[in-house]
Structure formats: structure tokens, C-alpha cells
Structure 1
Amino acid sequence: MANRLASSTSPYLLQHADNPVDWQEWSPEAFAEARERDVPVLLSVGYAACHWCHVMAHESFEDEATAAYLNEHFVSVKVDREERPDVDAVYMAVTQAMSGHGGWPMTCFLTPGGEPFYAGTYYPPHPARGMPSFRQVLEAVARAWREQRDEVTGSAAAVVRQLEFTPLPGSAVDDDVLAGAVVSLLGHFDLANGGFGGAPKFPPSTVLEFLLRHHERTGSVEALSMVSATCDAMASGGLHDQLAGGFARYAVDAAWVVPHFEKMLYDNALLLRVYAHLARRTAEHRHARVARGTAEFLLRDLGTPEGGFAASLDADTDGVEGATYVWTPAQLVEVLGLADGVRAAELHGVTDEGTFEHGASTLRLLGDPDPDLAARLLEARGRRPQPARDDKVVTAWNGLAITALAEAGAALGEPRWVEAAVRAAELVLRVHVVDGRLRRTSRHGVAGRAAGVLEDHGCLAEGLLALHQATGERRWLTAACELLDTALARFAGEEPGVHHDTADDAETLVRRPSDPSDNATPSGASSLASALVTASALGGPTGYREAAGAAVARAGLLAAREPRFAGHWLSAAEALALGPVQVAVVGGSAELVATARAGVHGGGVVVAGEPGSAPLLEDRPLVAGGPAAYVCRGFVCDRPVTTAAELAEALTTRAR
């Protein structure tokens, strides 16, 4: 019999709808039941593409005896972290503090008032590798609840007190901080393999964007070399799908050979942006090729019928991680024939020993790409069982995709990508805005119940601002400013520049989350700051720039001390340091527009159209009746230019 998740709009929750565990969604009713029964709440948090979430589900949540114990002694609540990032953030902080690490599945035990008193991640069905079994944990928690109630509730109250939010003091992000961040990142840079730190190794998307912007502003060779080396290493490794494009979530090794195979929308959107910007700066074909493949992956494999982009593809297929993607030499020969099979094995690093499991290898690129071999292998791979897709549309991640497709489409001359970004933006504005407020997700064109958080407002606003530049249409700027006004009004903290991740009228949790750190995705606060910078440059309200500067200053200590977790903040600071650059092209010159988009510095803006058709084009007339380009930095503007050569020269000027 299906439990109470059967009517959920979350693919992750629906994966658990047939469990014998009597799961409930996060709701006041679940906690009311816990109070009435006088039992603790088991909170289990995960997401649809999470491999170890699937493992724990099969081992424990599908087990009748374990489910019976849970149903008797707990109220069990399932949360999709992608739908409720606020719930996830609050209890992840607890899990990291209690266990010393975090991750998913996340397993927390709460009082009926929502206060956490014990937390961990994955628990095996039997004691292993120093971990107790899940059943042992359940029995110990149930016994403590019965026999040591005062200690349990006292511990929970102490945990809640430790969760109290203290904002960082203001600290300027000036030239010294920006240059110091590059030096700090050099200290963590992996000279042999690219990227930062050791295994497991995640794509450092926001950090790469910052380094690229720093190079554009200062000419730093070190910054550009870190970007190029990392992008080349990721693109040639197993992290990158050599056949279909797109990137996996992370590599389990330091050399990018073996990925954790789930593919997330946010990773691919952020990496598309980085590779497109790098191609603009280096004019290297390989960077443009990776950008094109990633964009096509987004459209082909993550596009939804309604026009949005799905959240992810699973890591495993039929319970086997990577089964769709890995190859043996014999399988290559079977598909390609002996000669081409041997050649493909050499090109892609497929060995008899294997680089993955059971003698299979991931595909790398150890030479020049061979489109014919790749097409034949992809066709054969398409006949294999395919990973499941989480097809919910997440507002923030679609905002990232809209930004990337609009910018990459404009920079690389691909109008289809811009058109796809337009469709996604129209879907989100049509479906996710309910009664004037933004919702977090939708599925099959129906909005979910969860309210939008700060990153939804910031990331979507950034996407709409990118569309305004790519299309010249004023409607995108108007919609973006409406989102930013809501964010400034509803998410503001008690001090200038401080922002919470949830709105002032959102559901009350044991703590109002406010995490400024950039991780796999930009933080909500840095997304807001970045969007405010761009909107101010595009002619938005005058207060936006001041609000952006105050927000960036609040992240100054984070940027100075931990730049690996402040990449998006540093990118916003780079844009502010250079003005940001504004390029207004009037008169419909395709050559001037192309030159502007190729030469503009990171964080700068380009708008083209007829005089007066957009705020940035007002009071900027034609010159001698012909097209012209106006270049400004901050509050200082150059004289208008009328040729591509003059514009290119104007855009090469760097800050002193």
C-alpha cells in the first residue's frame, strides 16, 4: 500500500511512495502527530539522483521489519532537499556539527517541536566500517527518548541555541583582497591535475568564473592558467561525457578519471558559462567545443516538454552506478569492429584492467576527438538501459541555465540556445509566480507548494538580465527588477547588506537559514548581489548598486579567508571593481554587437537596439546617422565609437 507520499510532486519522494515506512511530507500535521503519539521524528533528507540515498532505501526503507519498527516508534518524514533547501540547510548544519561531516542521505532525529538531538548520514543495515547499523541507531534513539527524556530535550535545546545566526562584520573587498584570493587559490591548486585540493574533486565553477574575470581586469597570467588547466583537465577526463556532452557531479579521484555519475542541471549550467567565457577570451576551439556539447546536453537530455530544464539524471541505472556509461575493450570492438575498437580504446583510455569497476573503464579523451567514433558509440549506448531523470523544474537552477544559454548563445552565435532560454524564462514566470510570489519548483507545468528562497530570486533575476542583453527586450529587465525588489524587501536581515535565505513570511523553522558560502551553486546572497550589480549597470533603480556593495562587503571576510567558498562573491566584486563595463550599441550594427560581446569584460553588460528602446540606450543617439557604440565604466564614459576596431581597442583597457 502506498504511504502518504503518493500525492507528492517530488520525484524523490515518489521513489519512496511504495515503501512500507509510513512516510509523510514535511508538514505541521506530521509534527502534531508526533506530539500526540509522544514519539520523536525521523527526518530523512535526500534527492532523486543521490546514489547512497537509493542504497539506504533498498537496504532499510524497503525492509518490512525496519519499517515496522519505524512506524511504531517514530513519525517518519521525507524531504527532497532540492524542494526544501531551507529545511536541508538547517539540519545539515546540525549534522555537520554532530558527526563531523555532512552529505546525503541525511538522517536526523527531532523532538515533536522540530529541535534536533541526534544526526548522521547513511547508516548500513548491519554494523560495518565502524558504523552502527540503522536498526541499532533507531533502538538507541527510541530508548533514550523513553528513558532519558530530560537529557534528550536538554541536548536539543542546546543545539538550537548553537544554531543562532551571527552575520559577518563588514569588510571591503578591494584590490588587495581580490589579488590575495588569487594567491590563496594558487596555494590550493593541483598543478598536476588542475582543480583545487585532492579527491574527491568537484568542478570549481564559481571560482573559475572569478579567476577569469580577474584575468580580464588585471591581465593576471596565473589566474588564466588555473582556469585553462582546470577546464582542459575536466574536459578530457571521465567527469566529462565524451559522447553526449555534459558533466557529472564530481570525480572520486584527483585526476578527474572516475566520476560520480549523476548529472546535475546546476553543474552543467555553471560550467557552460565558464567554458563559453573562456572560449571568448582564448579563442581556443576546444573550449568552444565543450561549451557547445554542454549546451546541447542541456537542451536534449534535460529539457522538459513545458520548456524548462529538469533537475538531474541519476548516478545509477537499475541500481548499478555508471552502468550506462562505462566500457570494456571487448564492448568497443563489438560495436566498432576490431580496428576502430582498438583505436577507440587508445583514444578514450579503455584498458583491460579498467579504470572503474569490474574491468570497465570510463571514457576520457587522450587525443583529438573523433566525431564518427563518438556518434557510433553514442548510438550503441542509447540502446542500453538509461538512468532515471528527476524532471522537476527548480527555479534557481533554471535561472542558472537561462543565464548560461543566453550568454553562451549570444557569445557563440547560437540563437537556438537563446530561444531555449526564453522558453524556460516564460515557463518559470508563468507557472512559478503564484499570487505575486515565487515558488521553488514545478513539475509537468504545475507549481509545487514550497516557497521560493533567496537563491531562486537571485539566480532567476540573473537569468532574466542575461536575456535582456541577448534579446534587447525590456520585459526581461522589468521582471528581473520586480524579483530583486521582492528579495530586498522580504529577505533583508537586521543589518545593512545581510540577507536571509528565507522570506520574512516563510515557514518558521528552528533557525532562519542564512548561509553566505558559495558551494556547488552560488549562495542566495551572492546571487542577489551579482544580480543587483548587473541590474544597476543595465539602468535599474539607483539603489541597487549601493545594496550590492553593502552585500559584497558583508562577505569580505569570507572572500579573504576562504576564497574557494566565495567564488560568486568575488565575481561580483570584480564587476564592481571595473565599473562594471557598460556597452550600448545603437543602430543595429551586427559587427559592433559581435565585437562588444567578444570583448566585454566579465560582469560587464551589452545591450543593442534602437536609441531609447532600453534604459541603457536612452540618451544615446546615432552618430552621423549611423550605428555607434558607447562604452562606460562605472560613472565614466568614453566618446562613442563607430567602428569595430575602435570598439575593440576601447574594451581592451584594463583597470590600473
Structure 2
Amino acid sequence: MSDDPDPTERNRLDEEESPYLRQHADNPVNWQPWDEQALEAAREENKPIFLSIGYAACHWCHVMEEESFQDEDVAEVLNEHFVPIKVDREERPDLDSVYMSICQQVTGRGGWPLSAWLTPEGKPFYVGTYFPPEQKRGMPAFGDLLEDIANSWSDPEDREEMKNRAEQWTSAIESDLSQPSPSTDGETPGPDVLETATSTAVRGADREHGGWGGGGGPKFPQPGRLQFLALAAERDGREDARAVVTETLDAMVSGGLFDHVGGGFHRYCTDQQWVVPHFEKMLYDNAEIARALLTGYQLTGSEEYAEAAARTFEFVGRELTHDEGGFYSTLGAQSPSFDDADGEAGEDEEGAFYVWTPEQVEAAVEDETDAALFRDRFGVTERGNFEGSTVLTISETVADLAEEHGLDESEVEQRLERAREQVFQARTERPRPDRDEKVLAGWNGLMISALAEGAVVLDDAYAEQAADALSFVREHLWNEDEGTLKRRYKDGDVRIDGYLEDYAFLARAALDLYQATGEVDHLAFALDLARAIEREFWDEEDETLYFTAESGESLVARPQELTDQSTPSSAGVAVQTLFALDHFADHDRFAGIAEGVLATHANDIEASPMQHASLVVAADRYHEGDLELTLVAEDVPAEWRETLADTYVPGRLLAWRPADDAELDEWLDVLGLDEAPPIWADRGTRDGEPTVYACRNFACSPPDHEVASALDWAAEEA
């Protein structure tokens, strides 16, 4: 029984730390968090649950709040006939996965806010997304819908029908999320899975505008697809794959998805041409797009990709970083409109912080020629491209601007950069979008991985930023004694047991940081997380990795996350990471788990490879093997770092090893190993000089003193 006799008689969201939940704390709706108090009240009072799932940067979540949840009449119906529960999907992706599954199955689409009506036992019987206050476009009015559902629930016959539907829908959720569909022969996806995925992705690509999706939009970044296309381009010589990668990255970097003034990427674009974005900025997008840009830079040598990645890291460091090193979650899409003439802030508008008029550019930039160049470069016109203002896109080349204005290209670039800095400074005076300051373990893992790769490819200084974030997560969210991870930190409040994505993304991050720095402590943490994945998420009977921990809360279904969505598939990242960490373990269980997951889901991966991008890369890694580069040196030669920075090497695993055997023994103690794993064993320096060993699938090059030579051997063996 609850200590609170009437837990649903008041809005309890002011007790929460989630900014999204707190945004609804002053609604007249008696919102409850998803907890035992609320669920117990629904069961005791035999009331259906109205579940609303969203997140702080969600535009339509804000719209529905203003239209419906602040309405006293709507609140009266919700409070009397339902137990209203509000959930932050970023805190509880498990709940979001379960109820989004049935929304997509029943309605054919998904999105946020997600609105679901559940039995007191949590089983859904009606579902949708945004509902307007008045009937329009085939959508029922929200208030009318509430009245209809309340009336039906009060009728015994209708209620029985609703419960029967809830049972059927729950079975559908279990079939979609929980029940593995193992391949009949128990084999992993075949060695041609990358070729199939590549051909499918190339056929489906928008070759005119870049990316995937046509018919007017929207266009979402698909970094997982770009990663396997780059792999096919480099290893298999697929020039069509290379072209799709460059067309997509070019569109993302030049269009409105990228913030040309302050760096970083928005969530997605609403149109086919990548012009107008949905303006929120998510940590996970800026991590995964940056990784794709680094891959694109190594694949093509395009400096534009390197610059965009660097400016994205700069944005994250400036606007999404906790003082102690962790990374915040999001910046919202809305902010008050701003009148430069009187300095007054108006109503909240989507994109107000980011858009420009010619007059605003002229007011911000001191030199008239600089201002004209900036307007022409980024397409700032009186008409605009978004509600009378302009979302900046690269509209003219530097060469064309130089010819038009009678200037050298180098002078044009200098003037544009000076103008950009002045526009950026002017923008700092505008009201800012809200920032969601949750620190999420998994999303931090994605950004740490991106920065670690940035340290290898661009500047080793990024490793320090990554290490600070990893230290923050370890200090605040990792319980070393129990080997368990919490998901969320907010202002000292730590809550929610970690999900597979938290463990998997963070394990990959720690491994990537070891590869960037050669610091064994990062490798040890990656192995600790891998052991936790085995213990909490691996089901030996079903031979799959579940999204929720064995010891976690029991829902109507235990979900798996096999497809890449806004974030990579947690199962796919886990499988890739377990294969890599198997090289440093004194057993073969990590590889066995990874192979088991691939075999269990081979049919699904082969049937829809584009949707399973991370698992496609994992399957290819299984067949091709890692390219192990054991690097033995006290002082790393600059030539090594230059070669690693300039060369795209799919499946690369950097296995740093101390040259001194006594230090190696200390490393083994840190890792809890009795003897050196094969990737390190008998691989010391030769001739007293830094030495590199390249191995793949049990074949190794002779010891070499040049990384470039070792890579040449690997290319010949491929």
C-alpha cells in the first residue's frame, strides 16, 4: 500500500528532476510519474491509465500541452476517469519501445507525443500520437475521445471488449519485441549481407538531394547506413556506395540540418531538399553524425567533413557540457522570438534562435561587403525560406562569390569567417532555447566514442574531453562494487537502472577511448561493462540480448532493440563491441554471445538489412574479422598517428601494448588476467624501436616499424 492515501489527487511531477516532466508540473491534470504509487492506484480504483510519452525538445508535445493539458475541462475528465501518467521517453526508453510498438502496428505510424490508453494492468487498448483540441484531418478531438473512452469503460460489455483488445495487442507487442525469430539452420547472416544491404541502400537513396526519403520529405540523418556504405566503398570498391555517402554528407553539411553559425546538427529536415530542420539539437545526433563525418573524411579526404565534425565537437563542448565533464541531452526547438529593433522577446517560436533576415545580418556585421557576402553565401533573402526568415544553407560557392565581388577566394573565406563570428556574437544576445540537463549514460557513451575517434582522426586533444565525460559517468552512474550502471544523472539525483544501450554504448566508448589513448583503465572499464551485459541482458535460452535487465522492472513485454532508429541498435553496438573485447578476454563467451545474437536474428537482418544497419556491420565483422593492429611503443611516432588519422581502415582495432614487460604485467593485473591475451602475447618491440603487428583471422604480418607498411599488408591480404 502507498504511504500517500490519495496519490492521484494531485499533480506529482514537481517531485521529478526530468525537465520534460517538470514542464507539466503546473498543468491542472493530476499527472503521475510512472511508479508503483500510480500503478497501484489504477488497480485499486479500476481506472484506465492515460499514458503520455514525450521529451523536452518535442515540438508537438508542447503544442498538445498548450492546447489540451492546460485546459481545465480536459483536466477534469482526465482526473475523474483516468490515472494520467506522464513519461519522459529519454529516461524510460523501455516504456516508449513497448507502447510505440503497438502504435506503429495499429496506426501505421509513430512519433511523439505518444498517447496510449491502458488497462489498470498496463495493457494498451487505444493508441495514437498527437490529438488536436478540435476534430480535423480525420483525427478526433482529444476531449471527445476522452469522453468516449470513459463512457465505454463504464459499460461492462464495452469494457470487456476493450480488455479483449488489450490482450490481443499485448500479444502483438510480445511478438514484435520479445519473441526471437531464430533462423531455421542456426546460422549467422551470410557473408553477402553487406553486399545486400549496400545494394538496397543505394537503390533507395535520393540521388538528387542526398539521403533517403522523397515525396517532399522529411529527411532524417541515417549515420548507420553511411557507415556500412563507407565500408563497402572502401573494401569492396563500390563506387555507387561512395557516391551515396558523399551526396548525403554534402547535403547534410551544406543544408539547414547543420547550424552554420554555431556548429552542430538539428534533429531532421522537414523537406526533401534538407533546407528547413526540426530545430531541436540532440546529443545522440551530434555524436553519430560526427562519427559519420570522420569516416567520410578518411574515405574521401574532404576537408568540409573534418571542419563540420570539429565545429560539432566545439558546439557540444560549449553548449552541452556539464561543468564536471558529462554531456547534457538536448536543446529545444523553441525560443522566444526576438525583435532586434526594440530588444523585446516575444512568444515562443520554433527556430527563432537560428533564423535570419537581411536586416538582422546587416545589423550584426560591421562591414557592408562582409554582410553582403554572408547573405549571398547562406541565401539570406527578404522572402526567406521559413516563415519570413531564412534558415542558413550554403547557397553559393566561394569561387562564385569571389568572381561576383571581384575578390580572391582566400579573402572571401576570411571575410565570411569574420562575418560568421559577428553573427554568432549577435546571436548570443537572443533568448536561448531551453536545455535539458539530464546526463544519460548511453548518450554520453555515443559522444565519448565520437570524440575518441576525433582524437585519432583530427586532434588528440579531443581525448581529454572524452575522458572527462567518461570519468563523470563512472563517478556518478557506475557502481563498481555491484557492477551496475544507472541511466540518468540530474542535479545530483541519480535514477533508473541502465538499459542495454547504456551498457553497450558506454562499453564501446571506453574501448574507443582506450584505442585513442592506450590507457588500460579505459579497457578495463569496457570489460567490466561487457561482463554486466552478459550477466543482465544475455538470455542463454532465447540466445538474444534484451533491452531491459534481467533484474529490472517487469513490463507487459520485455523488449529487444535490433533496428537502428534515432540511435543505433543497442544489440548491434553490443555485438560489435563484444567481438572486439573478445580479443582481451581469457574466455570465448563474449564472441559466443555475439555470434548467438547474429544467428538468432539472421532472418530479420537478411530480410531488412537497411533497418538493421548496426547488426549488418556486426555480421560483416564476424565474417571478415577485426584488423588487429598491436601497437608497441613508449613514445608513439608522429608518423603512426598521421597514418592512422589519414587512412580509413574498416574493422580497425588498435591494441596498444606497453613495450616494457613489467608494465604489461601491471596491465594484466588491472584487467584481472593471469596471462597476456594473444593480441599482446609475444608482441614486444623489435630492435628496440616502436613496433606494429597486423593480424586478421589468425594470419599476421611480420613485425614492422611502420603502421603504413602493416596496413599495406592488410590490404594485400583482404
- Please give the TM-score of this superposition, normalised by the length of structure 2: 0.88
1:50 corresponds to? 58
Task: Summarize the Cα distance change of 1:187–1:563 in structure 2 as closer, same or farther, 3 Å threshold.
Answer: same
For 1:93, the aligned partner's letter is: S
Residue 596 to residue 456, structure 1, CA distance change in 2 (3 Å): same
Alignment match, 2:305: 287
Q: State the 1:574 CA deviation.
A: 3.1
CA distance in 2, matches of 1:429, 1:472: 19
Task: Name the structure 1 match of 2:207.
Answer: 191
Give the match for residue 261 of structure 2: 243
Mapped to 2, the partners of 1:77 and 1:403 lie a distance apart of 35
After superposition, the C-alpha distances for 1:173-193 in whole angstroms (9 at most, x for unaligned) are: 333221111111111011101
Q: Distance in 2 between matches of 1:174 and 1:653?
A: 23
Question: Is 1:347 matched with 2:377?
Answer: yes
Show the counterpart of 2:355.
Answer: 326
Partner of residue 291, structure 2: 273
Report the Cα offset of residue 550 of structure 1.
2.3
Matching residue within 403, 425, 438 for 2:470: 425
Which of 572, 580, 583 is matched with 1:526 structurally? Answer: 572
Partner of 1:641: 704
Number of matched pairs: 652
Number of the residue aligned with 1:506: 552
The residue number in structure 1 matching 2:690 is 627
**What residue in structure 2 maps to residue 222 of structure 1?**
240
Matched, 1:162 2:172: yes
Q: How does 1:348-363 map to 2 (within 5 A)?
A: 348-357=378-387, 359-363=388-392
2:162 to 152, 156, 167: 152
Instruction: Give the Å deviation of 1:647.
Output: 3.2
Residue 427 (structure 2) aligned to one of 374, 381, 394: 381
Q: Which amino acid aligns with 1:208?
A: L
Using the TM superposition, name which of 269-278 and 32-41 deviates more: 32-41
How do 1:477-496 and structure 2 match up within 5 A? 477-493=523-539, 495=541
Shift in alpha-carbon separation, 1:378–1:538, aligned structure 2, 3 A: farther
In the alignment, which of 93, 113, 123 is matched to residue 115 of structure 1?
A: 123
CA-CA distance at 1:567 after TM superposition: 1.3
Question: Equivalent residue of 1:163, what SS?
Answer: helix
Deviations 1:24-57 (A, max 9, x none): 1001211211222222111000001101101111
1:601 equivalent in alignment to 2:649: yes
Structure 1 residue corresponding to 2:449, chosen from 364, 389, 403: 403
Quote the offset at 1:2 in angstroms. Answer: 7.8
Q: In the aligned structure 1, how far is the partner of 2:717 from the partner of 2:280?
A: 40
d(CA) in 2 for partners of 1:600, 1:123: 48
Match of 1:437 in 2: 484
What is the identity, as a one-letter code, of the residue corresponding to 1:166? Q
Structure 1 contact 595–647 (Cα < 8 Å) conserved = no
Alignment partner, residue 550 of structure 1: 596
Greater Cα shift, 615-624 or 580-589: 615-624
Q: Give the Å deviation of 1:634.
A: 2.4
Q: CA deviation at 1:504?
A: 1.3
Does the 8 A contact of 1:459 with 1:528 survive in 2? Answer: yes
Residue of structure 2 in register with 1:204 after alignment = 222
Change (3 A) 1:371 1:558: farther
CA contact (8 A) 2:458 2:645 kept: no
1:568 aligned residue = 614
Please name the residue that 1:14 is paired with.
22
- In structure 2, C-alpha distance between the alignment counterparts of 1:150 and 1:99, rounded to whole Å: 22
Shift of 1:5: 0.9
What is the CA-CA distance between 1:600 and the residue it aligns to? 5.7
Letter in 2 for 1:96: Q
Q: 1:174 aligns with which of 182, 190, 197?
A: 190
1:360, distance to aligned residue in structure 2 (A): 0.9
2: CA distance, partners of 1:580 / 1:446? 40
Q: 1:201 to 1:583 in 2, by over 3 A?
A: same
| Structure 2: distance between partners of 1:383 and 1:623 | 59
Q: For residues 373 and 323 of structure 2, what CA distance do their matches in structure 1 show?
A: 39
**Residues 316, 323 of structure 1: 8 Å contact kept:** yes
2:13 is paired with a residue whose SS is coil
How far apart, in 2, do the equivalents of 1:597 and 1:572 lie? 23
3-state SS, counterpart of residue 716 of structure 2: coil
Matched, 1:393 2:439: yes
Question: How high is the sequence identity, in percent, across the aligned residues?
Answer: 40
Give the Cα separation in 2 of the matches to 1:279 and 1:392.
Answer: 31
Q: Is the 8 A contact 1:516 1:526 kept in 2?
A: yes
Give the residue type in structure 1 aligned to 2:561.
D
Aligned-pair distance for 1:609? 4.5
User: Is the 1:534–1:604 contact (alpha carbons within 8 Å) kept by the matching residues of 2?
Assistant: no
Residues of 2 paired with 1:489 and 1:6: CA distance?
36
Moved more, 590-599 or 58-67: 590-599
State the SS of the aligned residue for 2:51.
strand
Deviations 1:60-83 (A, max 9, x none): 111122112211111110100010
Structure 1 residue 97: Cα displacement: 2.1
Confirm or deny that 1:335 pairs with 2:364. Answer: yes
Whether 1:73 aligns to 2:119 is no
Report SS of the residue matched to 1:515.
coil
Match of 2:377, SS? helix
1:540 shift after superposition = 6.5
**Alpha-carbon offset, residue 390 of structure 1:** 0.5
1:16 deviates by: 0.8
Letter aligned with residue 162 of structure 2: V
Measured in 2, the distance between the counterparts of 1:100 and 1:577 equals: 35
Question: How far apart, in 2, do the equivalents of 1:116 and 1:36 lie?
Answer: 18
What code does the residue aligned with 2:123 have?
A: E
- 1:266 Cα deviation (Å)? 0.5
Structure 1 residue corresponding to 2:329, chosen from 311, 324, 346: 311
User: 2:115 is aligned with what amino acid?
Assistant: T
Structure 1 stretches lacking a partner, 5+ long: none
Q: Kindly indicate whether the alpha-carbon contact (under 8 Å) linking 2:21 and 2:86 is maintained by their aligned counterparts in 1.
A: yes
Displacement after TM superposition at 1:549 (Å): 2.2
Q: Residue 11 of structure 1: CA displacement?
A: 1.1
Question: Closer, same or farther in 2 for the Cα pair 1:217/1:545, shift >3 Å?
Answer: farther
